[in-house]
């Protein structure tokens, strides 16, 4: 069976996950992390997408982005093809290797704005907690994530990351950041244990209406899994379970 096409449309929020082939490292030195972020900065200008947080781990990385709102926006596949290809060339040249660096296909998850996206961002920013007790105690000490910008509005990635668009004014932004910091302090383990599996395996994250609208408005992207049964019907059942099962804190 073929693979379903990527859904991509103007204004779409997406959680992107890229993994090293066979779980191998894709970052060996600080320069490697910096180079990928430099590419992100350049591609943001070229393709006019927004990025709200990220986390670069030794063998994979997460991005949370929004596709450009204009009708001539480039698809998520084009953006990620450019990013992965340019980083692979850099990495292979630097370490005198050949062949693919990443798994065949990156994962992209469509996310509804608001509380769904906010909780996803927390998951991304808390990824380093799995690396060591040091980051579990203080996730702000991990330097290759957007956590400081998201929670405090400052840090080295201020020019790279964008302000969350569903927050309408400075008061809402300030309230969001204060509640975000509280969550990081008080609910750090709850999100990792309860939410991680859902956030990584869902195709769409949102409420029932949002999930249904995505599926029905983009039926052409869902390939049939057996005769006369379009995939979007079964996916509707599965993704709605994901959307309804996740209890936000």
Range of the domain at 97: 13-245
Give the integer Cα–Cα distance in Å for 75 and 208.
25
- Overall domain count for the chain: 1
Q: What percent of the chain has pLDDT over 70?
A: 78
Q: Is 7 inside a domain boundary?
A: no
- Strands 204-205 and 107-111 turn out to be parallel
Q: Is 176 inside a domain boundary?
A: yes
**Could you tell me if 78 and 38 are in contact, meaning their C-beta atoms sit under 8 angstroms apart?**
no
Q: Calculate the average pLDDT of the chain.
A: 81
Q: Where are the alpha helices (H) located in 13-102, listed in sequence order?
A: 30-47, 76-94
Give the integer Cα–Cα distance in Å for 71 and 94.
38
Query: Which one is predicted more confidently, 71 or 52?
Result: 52
pLDDT at residue 5 greater than cutoff 80: no
Q: Is 60 inside a domain boundary?
A: yes
Q: How would residue 221 be classed by pLDDT, with cut points 50, 70 and 90?
A: low
Mean pLDDT for the stretch of residues 113-119: 89
Q: Is 127 inside a domain boundary?
A: yes
Residue 29, domain CATH: 3.30.70.1290
Q: What percent of the chain has pLDDT over 90?
A: 49
Q: Is 17 inside a domain boundary?
A: yes
pLDDT at residue 244 greater than cutoff 90: no
Q: Is 85 inside a domain boundary?
A: yes
Q: Is 2 inside a domain boundary?
A: no
* CB crowding 209-229: b at 16 or more within 10 Å, else e: ebbbebbeeeeeebeeeeeee
pLDDT at residue 91 greater than cutoff 90: yes
**Could you tell me if 240 and 208 are in contact, meaning their C-beta atoms sit under 8 angstroms apart?**
yes
**Could you tell me if 148 and 116 are in contact, meaning their C-beta atoms sit under 8 angstroms apart?**
no
**Residue 218: predicted pLDDT:** 76
Output phi, psi for 38, to 5 deg. -65, -40
Q: Is 73 inside a domain boundary?
A: yes
Give the integer Cα–Cα distance in Å for 140 and 119.
17
Give the integer Cα–Cα distance in Å for 109 and 64.
10
Give the integer Cα–Cα distance in Å for 95 and 241.
44
pTM of the prediction? 0.84
**Residue 186: predicted pLDDT:** 62
On the 0-12 / 13-18 / 19+ scale of CB atoms within 10 A, 14 is: buried
């Amino acid at each position: 069976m073929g693979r379903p096409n990527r859904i991509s449309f103007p204004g779409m929020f997406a959680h992107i996950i890229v993994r090293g082939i066979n779980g191998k490292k894709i970052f060996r030195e600080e320069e490697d992390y910096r180079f990928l972020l430099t590419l992100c900065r350049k591609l943001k200008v070229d393709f006019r997408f927004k990025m709200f947080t990220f986390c670069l781990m030794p063998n994979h990385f997460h991005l949370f982005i929004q596709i450009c709102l204009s009708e001539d926006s480039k698809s998520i596949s084009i953006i990620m093809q450019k990013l992965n290809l340019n980083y692979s060339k850099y990495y292979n040249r630097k370490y005198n290797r050949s062949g693919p660096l990443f798994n065949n296909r990156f994962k992209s998850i469509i996310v509804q704005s608001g509380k769904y996206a906010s909780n996803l961002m927390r998951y991304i920013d808390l990824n380093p907690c799995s690396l060591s007790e040091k980051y579990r105690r203080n996730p702000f000490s991990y330097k290759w994530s957007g956590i400081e910008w998201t929670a405090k509005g400052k840090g080295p990635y201020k020019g790279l990351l964008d302000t969350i668009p569903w927050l309408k004014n400075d008061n809402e932004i300030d309230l969001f950041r204060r509640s975000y910091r509280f969550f990081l302090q008080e609910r750090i383990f709850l999100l990792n244990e309860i939410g991680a599996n859902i956030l990584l395996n869902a195709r769409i994250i949102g409420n029932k209406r949002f999930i249904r609208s995505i599926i029905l408005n983009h039926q052409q992207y869902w390939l049939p899994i057996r005769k006369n049964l379009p995939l979007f019907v079964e996916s509707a059942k599965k993704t709605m379970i994901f959307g309804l099962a996740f209890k936000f804190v």
